[in-house]
Amino acid sequence: MSSPHSTDPAAPHRTKDTSPRTARSRRAPRTSALCVRTCAVTAALSALLLAAVAVTWSPLISFDRAVVDALHTSAVQEPTFTHVNRVLTDWVWDPWTMRLLSAAAVVWLWLRGERLLAMWVALASVLGTGLQQGMKALVGRERPLWPDPVDSAHYAAFPSGHAMTAVVTCGLLLWLCRRRGMAAGAWMWCVAVAAVSVLGVGFTRLYLGVHWPSDVVGGWLLGACVVALAVASYGRVALSRGH
């Protein structure tokens, strides 16, 4: 009779599945639920901000004016710093730079055979751009006007296209990095770069006097809503297809 503590060499050896795909499948329901809640909250806040902008709510308008007046005074007095902000907003954090990053991610995913994920990232980026332009046309908010402008911009003000595109792109790229199981140190660096980009581009738009603070906040909220919607919907579709 064998000891109760003995092991049968012929018995199947069961090991815990720690593959990235298994880990993702276990996190998927929690991630999807969190993203659904995030989407609902950011959508509600976006609607409230849109309503305040549309009715020109006095406290909001006064706050917007006070912030841009103070920043414009500084921009006129500090031409070197103003030039740095123009380079950052026109090249480093420009919406087309952000879209190129998204396009590169889509191509990379497609070549790796992750076609559904590639299409999802592409669709989320397109949705963000379409929503942004549609909101601008719907609201038709004028940008700040100055007798001595330091920069110029086209289209309506609300929401900030720079701010929204930065959130959509950085959010989607962080999502992809998380899915790949990136090491903790590298992940923290990516989060830091994304945070600096999102906050930085918002500051440049205000400092250069081409947006109101509520435009930037509106762009951030709508961008977060798009990312949360993309992640939540992909989780459900991928689960139904066995990805």
Tokens of 99: 């879209």
> Is the pLDDT at 42 greater than 80, yes or no?
yes
For residue 13, the 8-state DSSP code is -
Q: Would you call the peptide bond into 29 cis, given omega within 30 degrees of 0 as the criterion? A: no
8 confidence band (pLDDT: 50, 70, 90): low
Say which DSSP state 11 is in. S
User: Structure pTM?
Assistant: 0.89
Alpha helices (runs of H) in 88-212, residue ranges in sequence order: 95-111, 115-139, 161-179, 184-207
- Cα distance between residue 64 and residue 212, in whole Å: 5
Q: Does 43 score more than 60 pLDDT?
A: yes
Rounded to an integer, the average pLDDT of 189-213 is: 98
Mean pLDDT over all residues of the chain? 91
State which amino acid sits at residue 2.
S
Confidence check: pLDDT of 129 > 50? yes
Is residue 220 within 8 Å of residue 46, measured between CB atoms?
Answer: no
Query: So what's the pLDDT on residue 185?
Result: 96
Is 208's pLDDT higher than 60?
yes
Q: Predicted confidence band at 240 (pLDDT cuts at 50, 70, 90)?
A: confident
So what's the pLDDT on residue 25? Answer: 57
Structure tokens at 51: 């309503």
Integer angstrom CA distances of residue 80 from 3, 74, 92, 190, 209? 81, 11, 17, 29, 16
pLDDT tens track for 149-175: 999 999 999 999 999 999 999 999 999
Task: Return all residues near 111 (Cβ < 8 A) that are at least 6 apart.
Answer: none
Stated as kind and residue range, the H or E segment containing 68 is: helix 58-77
- Given a contact cutoff of 8 angstroms between Cβ atoms, the answer to whether 127 and 226 are in contact is yes
b/e 177-211 (16+ beta carbons within 10 angstroms → b): bbbeeeeeeeeeebeeebeebbebbbebbbbbbbb
> Is residue 6 very low, low, confident or very high in pLDDT (cuts 50, 70, 90)?
very low
Q: Which residue has the tokens 């070549």?
A: 111
Q: How many CB atoms lie within 10 A of CB 41?
A: 14
- Residue 48 to residue 224: CA distance in whole angstroms: 15
Please state, for a pLDDT cut of 90, what percent of the chain lies above it. 82
pLDDT score of 238: 82
Asked if pLDDT for residue 80 goes beyond 60, the answer is yes
Q: What is the pLDDT of residue 111?
A: 98
